[in-house]
Amino acid sequence: MTRHVSMISITLSTKELNTTSAGYQAPSPPDQSKPQPNYQQQQPRQVRGPYNAVNEDSYGRGRGRGRGRGRGR
């Protein structure tokens, strides 16, 4: 039998939870957990200049007029 669910609910608690509740999963032992990597702080991104719509399509890339505009007769 397969049961499809459209939503999951995850409860984090420092208090004791009801272990007889459907879907309860006991916490894994600390020796089975992976060490968390220490992330380095990223460099700040460059600030963009003011928006200039000349020679840009609707996606914000400077690619000219794009495609599909006919031959301009």
pLDDT for the residue 26: 83
Higher pLDDT, 71 or 24: 24
**Residue (of 13, 15, 32, 11) closest to 23 by Cα position:** 11
Residues with Cβ within 8 Å of residue 19, at least 6 apart in sequence: 26
pLDDT digits (tens, 9 = 90+) for 20-39: 888 888 888 888 878 777 77
